[in-house]
Amino acid sequence: MNQGLYNGFLAAGLIWGLLAGRRDVKVFFLSCVVVAGVFGGITAKTSILLTQALPGLIALVCVLAASGGDSQRRR
């Protein structure tokens, strides 16, 4: 039950970041997803690395890559 609540808060944070267009919020919550996935993979089940940490890492890289182009255009 605790995991469901935790994942709900992560989802709420990511939705907030998307709706507000806040890169910092998206980066923070995606980083939390990756850290939780790595921790879960080490302490609970190795498959969590593939089901939670890897998708979170891919999304984090995409957010950083997309916003990297924005900051260069502003200069």
Q: What is the pLDDT of residues 13-57, one digit of tens each?
A: 999 999 999 999 999 999 999 999 999 999 999 999 999 999 999
- Provide φ and ψ at 12, rounded to 5°: -60, -40
Which residues are CB-neighbours of 75 under 8 A, at least 6 positions away? none
Portion of the chain with pLDDT greater than 90, in percent: 77
Q: What is the pLDDT of residues 6-18, one digit of tens each?
A: 889 999 999 999 9
Q: Where do we find the tokens 């940490």? A: 53
What are the boundaries of each domain within the chain? 2-74
pLDDT at 75 over 80: no
pTM surpassing 0.85? no
